[in-house]
Amino acid sequence: MAMILEVVDARGGRVPMRLRLDALPLTVGRGFANDVILDDPYVDARHARIALDESGALVVEDLGSVNGLVAQGTPARRVQVAVGTGAEVRVGRTLLRFRDPDEPVPPALPDLPEPVAAPEPARPSGSRWTTSVWAQLAVSAAAVGAMAGTTWLENYQRSSASEVVSAGMGFVMLGAIWAGIWAVAGRVVVQRFRFFGHFAVASAALLAAIAVTTLNQWLTFFFPDNPVSGLVEIGVGVGLAAALVAGHLSLASSMPRRRRWRAGIITGAVMLGLGGVMTLVEDEGFSDVPQFAGVLKPVGPGWIPTAPVAEFGEEAAELREQVDELAREE
Amino acid sequence: MHSPPARLRALRAALLAVVALAAAAPLVAQESPTATPTVFRRHADRVIKIQVVEAGSGAKAGIGSGFFVSGAGHVVTNYHVIAPLIHDPARYRAEMVDGRGAARRVSVLAVDVVHDLAVVHTGLRTPRHFTLGPGRAAQGDRLYSLGHPNDLGLSIVEGTYNGHLQHTLYPKIHFTGSINPGMSGGPTIDAAGRVVGINVSTSGDQVSFLVPVERATALVARALAPGYRPPARFLPEVGKQIRAYQDVYLREMFAGKTKTVELGRYRVVTEPAPFFRCWGDARRGKEQPYESVDHACSTDDYVFIAGDQMSGMVEVQHELVTTRSLNPSRFFALYSSIFQRDNTPGGDEEHVTSWRCSTRNVRNASTPLRAVLCLRRYRKVGELYDAVLKVAVLGHRDSGLVSTLTLSGVSYENVDRLSRRYLERITWR
């Protein structure tokens, strides 16, 4: 009765390979000359051997590897481990699990037009624009340019060069620190230091934030006091935070897409909750500073939607009700 | 108008904590006419000190002066002397202190907040009182002001009558003589002992102001009329008086005949009434790629309500900005920052609510405008509001005008009426 060897990624739990142990012995290692080839940088080129000992029992033997063998449930390295059904031996960061060939498997899933919760494809994620060098460069340069450009447009001093440069450099520096932290995290978790990819993710988030802020400014210019702008700001803020975290996780972890987005949305929701609490606290407090909010835009007189002055009185009446209410609250 | 003018601040400072100003300018001390000692001897016992005492600590919160106007012990003083009592009757009490230093509790009978007067009752029968009548004086007449400057004891100050001020919101006599804090509420009389006015404020250097005696005569007549009963709470009465007076002087403000001034291609209101003062300035420099011109007018006068609350102030401010070198985006960044600048009066949570604002784009007969109206309400004095209307003219790429109307302590009807008129009167050609 030949046993089944199951190769398991020790951290992700994925099973890249199953093998029937018909002919023994078998060698295990990262080198291509092995019978079982493991894609794990912590595994030696020739790491272990699976064989039968004198008594005919199945064993795994260390072939003098760097990280050795670790048997299930014991922390210590072993030179030889006897294995039976259900046993697990760790080599590097890969688990060798031994299973009974008669073990039943669940029936196949019907392949419907909507794929039902199929397991994620086991490819390392983040393989789109975030890993293309040219795309990374383009997005990063666009973000630095946008940062400098908006600073210039918001500046009305005669010499604005120093402010523009420091805004661009400021983003580069903060972005580098941010991307560096993510890249180090990625190096630890998936053994990949993708600094420029992380910088590009942060850049994309900045570009989106600038675009949405600008659009919102125009919206509130044309329609001040509209109820949508505030919601757009909150919604986009949460969405951007979620996308930012999900984007970084796609490069710095082997999480499936759904889990990345779940983490991102949780982050966004926590930020929204904190922001909401702070706004509430601020609104409760007394302030003798009125808010003349809103940005004015250079638009020809014919293009601005306006109400007649007479209608302004209705606004005033509403305000009066609000402050009368405040005065009653004491 | 961020802080009350110096003269009232000075008065209040001494009301709160009387500090002996040893180095104060000598009162008119040189060769006084022989009449002065006689005037003092004859009338000194008709003038008293009034002190407001914090009930909890028994400490003096402020002092002022007053004078008897009836044999039944009625005393006239300034509203601002007894104002803490009006706002917080549970916390403060008022006492009179006579020439011998004996203190006696007094009660407020009637107030005229607009003219800063009050009648208090001492319950002390005295034959030694002034009889109020119409004031008669000609410019240059010698007058004598009595009171307790800086709590230094009853003093007499000589000075001259210089007529009624021409452009004031509230009638005032210009008295050339040194009235100092603590003398508030004391009488200024002529050599014959007739009251001409009531000491109220000073702007220093012997320029002092009196409330014309006619206002006190009218208030005393009202307080002593048969059947008059003082209100249980004075604050609603204070609010009512302010609203009634404002309705008179604000009625025609910014209406058809209001003066206007041209700033660039914009035309805006200026000097809305004779009691406004206007000033202006222009700023241009090599360091800034734009030019700005300011023009502002405000009432030089106000009604004292309490502490830092003044009512009846109206201010208009205009700022024209133009550029030749900024592109429209950068110019509008500047324009927005000027528009968002906060130049509103401060406030205390005890007295006013937070601001609430409403923003709209509106169009008058001439131009589209961005208009923000902010409103807050007085908590204690009934139905009075502070309002700020901030307006920016829209539609031009290289010029703009930000105009602000600030109203403090006015009725809602006036906020509504004046802000609409104000919006109509900003034009572009």
Q: Could you give the ipTM of this predicted complex? A: 0.74
Inter-chain CB proximity A296 and B370 less than 8 Å = yes
Q: Which of A27-31, A221-225, B47-51, B400-404 has the lowest mean pLDDT?
A: A221-225
Q: Output the DSSP codes for B395-408.
A: S-SSEEEEEEEEEE
Encode B12-39: b = buried (16+ Cβ within 10 Å), e = exposed.
bebbbebeeeeeeeebbeeeeeeebeeb
CA B209 to chain CA centroid, nearest Å: 12
Inter-chain CB proximity A317 and B419 less than 8 Å = no
Q: Output the DSSP codes for A143-210.
A: HHHHHHHHHHHT--SS--HHHHHHHHHHHHHHHHHHHHHHHHHHHHHHS---HHHHHHHHHHHHHHHH
Q: Which residue of A has its CA nearest to B287?
A: A158
Inter-chain CB proximity B352 and A315 less than 8 Å = no
Whether residue B15 is predicted with pLDDT greater than 70 in this model: the reply is: no
pLDDT of residue A176: 96
Whether residue A235 is predicted with pLDDT greater than 70 in this model: the reply is: yes
Q: What is the pLDDT of residues B71-115, one digit of tens each?
A: 999 999 999 999 888 888 888 999 998 878 888 999 999 999 989
What is the Cα–Cα distance from B200 to A68, expressed in whole angstroms? 98
Whether residue A115 is predicted with pLDDT greater than 50 in this model: the reply is: no
pTM, entire model:
0.72
pLDDT of residue A1: 60
The minimal CB distance from B290 to the residues A152, A156, A301 is found for A156
Whether residue B288 is predicted with pLDDT greater than 80 in this model: the reply is: yes
**Better-scored residue on pLDDT, A308 or A109:** A308
Whether residue A58 is predicted with pLDDT greater than 50 in this model: the reply is: yes
- Region A57-71: mean pLDDT is 90
What is the Cα–Cα distance from A171 to A150, expressed in whole angstroms? 12
Q: What is the pLDDT of residues A246-281, one digit of tens each?
A: 999 988 888 888 899 999 999 999 999 998 898 888
Q: Which of A262-271, B219-228, B288-297, B375-384 has the lowest mean pLDDT?
A: B375-384
Candidates B2, B288, B356, B427, partner chain A, best to mutate (most A CBs within 10 A): B356
Q: How far is CA B333 from CA A152, A254, B227, in A?
A: 10, 45, 64
Inter-chain CB proximity A296 and B335 less than 8 Å = yes
- Region B18-47: mean pLDDT is 62
Q: Give percent of chain B above pLDDT 90.
A: 47
Q: Which residues on chain B are in Cβ contact (under 8 Å) with A287?
A: 354-355
What is the Cα–Cα distance from A190 to A12, expressed in whole angstroms? 10
Q: Which residue of B has its CA nearest to A214?
A: B329
Instruction: Give the β-pairing of A77-78 and A69-71.
Output: antiparallel
Q: Which residue of A has its CA nearest to B380?
A: A327
